[in-house]
Amino acid sequence: MNHPKEDVLAEIRWMAEMKLDFIDLTLEPPAAAPWRVDPKAVRKALDATGLKVVGHTAYYLPMGSPFESLRRASVAELRRCLEAFAEIGAPWMNVHPDRHAPMHDRAFYIQKDLESLAELVDVGRRLGVGVMVENLPGDFNTVAQLAELLEPLPDLGLHLDIGHANLLVERNTADSLIAAYGNRLRHAHLHDNKGGSADLHLPLGAGTIDVARHVRTLKASGYDGTITLEVFSPDKSYLEHSRDILRRIWDAPEASAGGATPS
């Protein structure tokens, strides 16, 4: 994933040099805001490097807000991202469900999230960009919690974050989410942490997540799509190391149901 403080074209360059398969392109301020990024230039850079692209958006947009004007503004900003991703050529864009509605019950912000998501799914359909929802620790991390968003909206995809699935839970929920909604899975995030509440975004192997187990579950489910290594460190060798670990697990014979390897 590109760093929102860095120039997107420069980020694409080092990812191509590292021989990654794709960029998880987050369009968010300051440097990667949709009003600062030129979609045509991004598409050109992707074509030149051969990198594919998945769309990501800011996690802090209040799309479930009790303030209707703020909810509308969040949808407007996410629509702007959808339009940019359509031009860039991203097949899917993620959104983060919102729960910041003090003094309201869960049913309220679920309803508001659903209103916002329904509109975005509609816009995305016209633009040719699918919308997927990312699981988050706390309120959107179990099968039952995500069902409240996924069941009413059959075209909404699931974006599984295996690191988030390890936070504020007794055991990692990734396997159960894959079992329940593997057929809705469109993208995955992978990073390590030590459970509890700290979303550490560590390199693979640096925390307590059984990465090999969850990658095997993912593969056994038939998933063969994109996996972002959401490893946040200024030292990019941690990302390279995580890439090598993931590749080793994915290619291991015991992880293979049908013997296929990802392209």
88, containing H or E segment? helix 68-88
| Min CB(174)–Zn ion separation in Å | 12
Q: Which stretch binds Zn ion (CB under 5 A): 53-61, 172-180, 181-189, 205-213?
A: 181-189
DSSP-assigned letter for residue 167: S
| Min CB(113)–Zn ion separation in Å | 17
CA angle 28, 137, 238 (to 5 degrees): 65
Q: Considering the complex, state which of residue 112 and residue 159 has its C-beta at the smaller distance from Zn ion.
A: 159
| Min CB(66)–Zn ion separation in Å | 26
DSSP-assigned letter for residue 162: T
Q: Which stretch binds Zn ion (CB under 5 A): 52-60, 188-196, 211-219, 254-262?
A: 188-196
| Min CB(50)–Zn ion separation in Å | 24
Told to check if 199 binds Zn ion by CB under 5 A, we report no
Told to check if 175 binds Zn ion by CB under 5 A, we report no
Told to check if 201 binds Zn ion by CB under 5 A, we report no
Q: Considering the complex, state which of residue 45 and residue 63 has its C-beta at the smaller distance from Zn ion.
A: 63
Determine contact, residues 57/81, Cβ cutoff 8 Å: yes
Question: Residues with Cβ < 8 Å from 217, sequence gap 6 or more?
Answer: 174, 175, 178
Told to check if 189 binds Zn ion by CB under 5 A, we report yes
Q: How far is CA 4 from the centre of its chain?
A: 15
**Of residues 222-261, those binding Zn ion (CB under 5 A):** 230
CB atoms within 10 A of CB 78: 25
DSSP per position, 169-232: SSS--HHHHHHHHGGGEEEEEE-B--STT----BPTTSSS--HHHHHHHHHHTT--S-EEE---
Give Rg (Cα) of the chain.
18
- Number of residues near Zn ion (by CB under 5 A): 3
- What does the alpha-carbon distance between residue 155 and residue 94 come to, in Å, rounded to a whole number? 13
| Min CB(99)–Zn ion separation in Å | 16
Q: Which stretch binds Zn ion (CB under 5 A): 2-10, 189-197, 219-227, 255-263?
A: 189-197
| Min CB(67)–Zn ion separation in Å | 26
**Of residues 126-165, those binding Zn ion (CB under 5 A):** 161
Told to check if 28 binds Zn ion by CB under 5 A, we report no
Q: Which residues bind Zn ion (CB under 5 A)?
A: 161, 189, 230
